[in-house]
Amino acid sequence: RRFCSRPERTLEGKIALITGAASGIGKATAAKFIANGAKVVIADVNHELGQEAAEELGPDARFTPCDVSKELDVSNAVDFTVSQHGRLDIMFNNAGIACTTPASIVDLDLDRFDRVMAINVRGVVAGIKHASRVMIPNRAGSILCTASVVGILGGMAQLTYSLSKSSVIGIVRSASPELGRHGIRINCISPFAIPTRLVMDEMNHHYTGVGNQRIVDIIHGAGALEGTSCEPIDIANAALYLASDGAKYVSGHNLVVDGGFTVFK
Ligand code: NAD
């Protein structure tokens, strides 16, 4: 009977900082973490949406403005979390942007390349650096990052984005041995396509005039699992597991949430 008691709140009392949590995967994860007993700081470059998300998620959510491409912003977001809550247990480096690379590499926009790298790669490294700074003295912590199936498979017209996300997988694998010596785990998640703002903007660029519903159908139709599709909550559930003590011996891992797509490919 004891085993059938209330569902566990696996992050009870934990403090989490999530970048890019004003919408999509980050917001769904913030809601999931709060439902499991955590207090969450939402860090996002979009102030209006970030503030709105914090209000919607209630008193256990706070917003701090942060552009992850600026190291000082990331450092300040970490310090804000510690000043509000006394420590940082979970850092989720989730903020990212897509890159609509032209079909031909000859036309590649290297300024856009630099911007994608500044957010998707440098921003992640800054998040790891500053979270580690406050986690190391506690000899505990869980760091998560959002990679992508595109970082594993690559893809037509995906050169820049693919590089940024395969970099995230490499960064996690490289940081894991050092952080492990301090009792800190680090993992990433590679989601399949989900029609969030980031993807809808990119797809609208590719499929001009097709309409949002048709684009959602295209994304869902590309999946490998019949009868279901990838949603932000699927990534939030993976993040919940990796952040929790249930994953206490999991580090350096890339958890692929793709309904078997990369295997199928
Ligand atoms: P989204 O557009 O809903 O959310 C991205 C959030 O990041 C937004 O709130 C945006 O304001 C924020 N952001 C953008 N630039 C930022 C910056 N410089 N500093 C701080 N915040 C910034 O999209 P999403 O799909 O939830 O994206 C979250 C992560 O998931 C990204 O890293 C993305 O690359 C990754 N991802 C998404 C998919 C997908 O299909 N949606 C698949 C694989 C990986």
* Mean pLDDT across 240-265: 96
111: CA distance to ligand 1 center in Å?
A: 19
Residues 6+ apart with CB under 8 A from 7: none
For the whole prediction, is pTM greater than 0.95?
Answer: yes
What is the Cα–Cα distance from 42 to 3, expressed in whole angstroms?
A: 34
20 torsion bin: left (phi>0), alpha (psi -120 to 50), beta (else): left
| Per-residue pLDDT reduced to its tens digit, 86-132 | 999 999 999 999 987 777 889 999 999 999 999 999 999 999 999 99
| Per-residue pLDDT reduced to its tens digit, 211-232 | 999 999 999 999 999 999 999 9
Residues 6+ apart with CB under 8 A from 153: 162, 262, 265
Q: Look up 207 and say whether it is catalytic.
A: no
84: CA distance to ligand 1 center in Å?
A: 25
Q: Are 66 and 40 in contact (CB under 8 A)?
A: no
Ligand 1 site, CB within 6 A:
19-20, 22-26, 44-46, 49, 66-69, 94-97, 119, 146, 148, 191, 193-194, 196-199
What is the Cα–Cα distance from 230 to 258, expressed in whole angstroms?
A: 7
Which of 148, 198, 215, 262 has most ligand 1 atoms within 8 Å of CB, for mutation? 198
24: CA distance to ligand 1 center in Å?
A: 7
152: CA distance to ligand 1 center in Å?
A: 18
Neighbours of 13 (CB within 10 A): 10
What ipTM is given for this predicted complex? 0.99
Atom of ligand 1 nearest to the CA of 230: 40
What is the Cα–Cα distance from 96 to 119, expressed in whole angstroms?
A: 6
Q: Counting Cβ atoms within 10 Å, is residue 181 exposed (0-12), middle (13-18) or buried (19+)? A: exposed
* Residue nearest atom 11 of ligand 1, based on CA coordinates: 46
Provide the residue count of the chain: 265
Q: In what order do the strands lie in the sheet with 254-257?
A: 61-65, 39-44, 15-19, 90-93, 141-146, 184-191, 254-257
Of 161, 207, 241, 249, catalytic = 161
| Per-residue pLDDT reduced to its tens digit, 24-74 | 999 999 999 999 999 999 999 999 999 999 999 999 999 999 999 999 999
What is the Cα–Cα distance from 11 to 189, expressed in whole angstroms?
A: 18
